[in-house]
Amino acid sequence: MNNKFYIFLAISIFLFSCQSNNKNTEKKIFLKNYTINGKTIFNNDVNIIYLFSVDSILIAKLNDDNYHYAVYNPKTLKLLGKFARKGNGPNEFPDVLRYEQNIIENNQIKIWVYGYNTNKIYLINVSNSIKNQATTIDTILNVEPQIKFSNLFVTNDYKVIGNIRNTTTDMKRLLIYDIEKNKIVKEVDLFPKIENNNEDITFIFYKYNWLFLSSLASNPNFTKFASAMLYFNRIDIFDKNGNIINSYEGKNNITKTEIDGFFSTEIGNYANIKEYYSGTTSSGNFIYTIYYNKKASKSAESLPVKIRIFNWNAELVCELNIPNHLTSIAIDEKNGIMYGVAFFDEKILKYDISSILDEIKTGSK
């Protein structure tokens, strides 16, 4: 298996009891299926892992020795600058950074990023960083060492809502942490429930906890959060207090036999377990997520994928058939554009989804 698979697998780890009374089993409204083709953008030498569409710019997460991020003009694709230099100097970042969230304050674009090793959350002023060609950090928040987030969002009242990494003995589907009070407000245990009597730490980290990897997205005012699971065909919607308000569960879900088979294989063997959702992003209207529905052994193969679009009631409203093997997506709803990164094919693609968005917005009302 090629090196790009292991690079992507390592990156994906960073991406990814209660019962809901509002579970939508295969509930669909106005479901339509479209097949769309994208246009390749950027040159082959652009080493982009993820793209984020933010207001008037594109922010790229780089596979780069010197910088974590770059900023591009979405119309001309001109490089506007790079920021978050790797290193140990002033305003440099020695560790892996995770970016999920952007805000606009006083006409300035800012992003929250999370340092996995330092356990700090940084508010980077992207507008000033590009203007001055030097990274500007507006705020630094310290997280208690025992709390190890995977994905997270910072609310306006400085509560951190996120999921916990698989490399902890007490992994959570969701955790709410009050930064100012240094207090855990709410913990949501792992679910769906899976029986496990193996107390070996390595097994817990890379087998049991691994099954609960998920990607997290938020609506713009941080009142709803979508948790899309990688190894379960389900998406759960939480409110700002960590309560489940809606869920979607597909019929072709993982079975107990498949789970038992996965647990019986050696650590690091994920080939025969099926992957479902990854690369989740969202807007005020919809939740967008890549839907693989194929075994992990196919992860590095150039196979078509689907983009599933849900509303915030966890109802499936649309599927996009994509001939490319996308590993991450970014949505510019205002201009009706979807960007896709095909990591293994070393392509960045741009898709026109304006007419589709118009149709599903009308149909979802």
296-348 pLDDT, tens digit per residue, is: 887 777 789 999 999 999 999 999 999 999 999 999 999 999 999 998 888 99
d(CA 202, CA 45): 38
Decide: 191 and 165 in contact? Cβ < 8 Å. Answer: no
**pLDDT of 141 strictly over 80:** yes
| H or E stretch covering 247 | strand 244-249
Q: List 112's β-bridge partners, or say none.
A: 101, 123
pLDDT tens-digit readout, 230-263: 999 999 999 999 999 999 999 889 999 999 999 9
Rounded to whole angstroms, how far apart are CA atoms 172 and 192?
12
3-state DSSP assignment of residue 212: helix
- The band of 124, judged by pLDDT with boundaries at 50, 70 and 90, is very high
Cβ pair 29, 360 in contact under 8 A = no
Confidence of residue 209 (pLDDT cuts 50, 70, 90): very high
Residue 304 carries which side chain, given as an amino acid letter?
Answer: P
Residues for the chain: how many in total?
Answer: 365
pLDDT at 30: 65
pTM to 2 decimals? Answer: 0.90
Identify each DSSP E strand in 79-201 by its residue range.
79-85, 97-105, 108-115, 120-125, 136-142, 149-154, 159-164, 174-178, 183-188
Q: Which residues contact 50 (CB under 8 A, 6 or more apart)?
A: 60, 61, 328, 330, 341
The whole-angstrom separation of Cα 81 and Cα 210 is 36
Q: How many C-beta atoms lie closer than 10 Å to residue 30's C-beta?
A: 15
Residues paired with residue 149 on neighbouring β-strands, in sequence order: 164
Question: How high does pLDDT run on average in the chain?
Answer: 89
Residue 14 main-chain phi, psi, to 5 deg: -75, -25
How many structural domains are present in the chain? 1
Question: To 5 degrees, how large is the angle CA 263–CA 266–CA 272?
Answer: 65
Q: What is the CATH number of the domain that holds 154?
A: 2.120.10.30
Phi, psi of 202 (to 5 degrees): -60, -40
Share of the chain above pLDDT 90, in %: 77
Q: Which domain holds residue 174?
A: 3-364
